[in-house]
């Protein structure tokens, strides 16, 4: 099907309208939506790795160190993480999840797992295979390049000659 016949704008808004419930607190619990994307990513990184330093977290959430510092400060105020100096090298500060954060992530995992299992059980073997293939393709395409209006403008701008007398 050509792009001319396919209305991308209509499709985008259709799926936004259909999937907006994913952002509603009654699906996930209000607590989950009290955290920013970077805070959630930092919590997930620390959950998987058990501990990390600011550089590791910064690389994982793909943010500069000063942004990561703000993220960790907010999580510390919410009593979700704590900073601990390394016993062998006091210059190193490790970030660890608190028990409160550990429980929070476990609860959220149960909710997410519930929905994934419902979806998984609703699909046939062929649909599961196709869905995974499509999902992996979508991720690969999205990783390739970032859309930038300035890149598009640069391509369309022409060099302007100025005659100097």
Indicate if 26 and 42 belong to the same structural domain.
no
What tens digit of pLDDT does each residue of 87-100 get?
999 989 999 999 99
Range of the domain at 11: 1-34
Domain membership of residue 15 (yes or no) is: yes
Domain membership of residue 105 (yes or no) is: yes
Domain membership of residue 153 (yes or no) is: no
Indicate if 22 and 50 belong to the same structural domain.
no
Q: Please provide the size of the chain in residues.
A: 165
Indicate if 69 and 4 belong to the same structural domain.
no
**55, 65 contact by CB (below 8 A):** yes
Indicate if 10 and 46 belong to the same structural domain.
no
- What residues contact residue 21 under an 8 Å CB cut-off, 6+ apart? 27
What tens digit of pLDDT does each residue of 15-50 get?
888 777 766 656 666 676 788 999 999 999 999 999
> How far, in Å, CA of 84 to CA of 76, rounded?
12
Give the CATH number of the domain where residue 101 resides. 1.10.10.10
The total number of structural domains that make up the chain: 2
Kindly report the pTM of this predicted structure. Answer: 0.73
Residue 48, token pair as written in the block:
């998987």
First CA to last CA distance, the chain: 55
């Amino acid at each position: 099907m050509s792009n001319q016949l396919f209305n991308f704008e209509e499709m985008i808004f259709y799926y936004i309208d259909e999937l907006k419930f994913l952002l509603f607190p009654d699906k996930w619990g209000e607590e989950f939506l009290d955290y920013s994307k970077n805070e959630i990513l930092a919590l997930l990184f620390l959950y998987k790795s058990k501990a990390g330093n600011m550089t590791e977290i910064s690389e994982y959430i793909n943010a500069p160190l000063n942004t990561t510092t703000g993220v960790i400060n907010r999580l510390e105020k919410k009593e979700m993480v704590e900073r601990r100096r390394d016993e062998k090298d006091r210059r190193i500060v490790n970030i660890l999840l608190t028990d409160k954060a550990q429980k929070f992530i476990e609860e959220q995992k149960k909710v997410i797992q519930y929905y994934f299992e419902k979806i998984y059980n609703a699909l046939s073997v062929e649909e599961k295979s196709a869905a995974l293939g499509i999902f992996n393709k979508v991720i690969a395409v999205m990783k390739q390049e970032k859309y930038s209006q300035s890149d598009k403008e640069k391509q369309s701008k022409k060099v302007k000659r100025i005659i100097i007398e």
